[in-house]
Amino acid sequence: MISRQLAEPVLYVGDQSAERINIGQESGHVIAVVPGEVDLTKAPIWFGTPELPERIDRERAQAERAKAEAAGIKPFSQEKVQAAQANGGEQVNLADRETLGRDVLAGLIEQYSPQESYLADQFRIPVNR
């Protein structure tokens, strides 16, 4: 069998695609990484048209956002954002990807999507340098 990448619904946050860390089908929770600073009271979150996420540029993201807004997708309220931050913590800024995976993403997977704990295990595998 030949391995292939196929288009899938892209997860957007505002005007950019997010990196999905897990599938979340069983748990109902998708864990994602969004680079940079994002104001969740201004940036809607939604799944857009199927594509390979690495093909998304700013123009495509803005077009997808226009479609989402036309469909009634809106950013979270200030109250929801504050509640989520109180429950999950503040924004994380780390120096490298390895630390992010080991120290943050693995724990989020175990907490919100334990059915995919094998992903947490993979983030904790030591990297030989």
pLDDT, residue 10, reads 97
Q: 88 pLDDT exceeds 80?
A: no
User: Residue 108 pLDDT more than 80?
Assistant: yes
Q: Check if the beta carbon of residue 75 is closer than 8 Å to that of residue 40.
A: yes
Which tens digits make up the pLDDT trace of 18-69?
999 999 999 999 999 998 889 999 999 999 999 999 999 999 999 999 999 9
Contact predicate 37/76, CB 8 Å:
no
Instruction: Check residue 84 and give its pLDDT.
Output: 86
Return d(Cα 99, Cα 127) in angstroms, integer.
Answer: 11
For the four alpha carbons of 41, 39, 89 and 105, in that order, the dihedral sign comes to positive
Instruction: Write down the pLDDT at residue 129.
Output: 67
Share of the chain above pLDDT 70, in %: 98
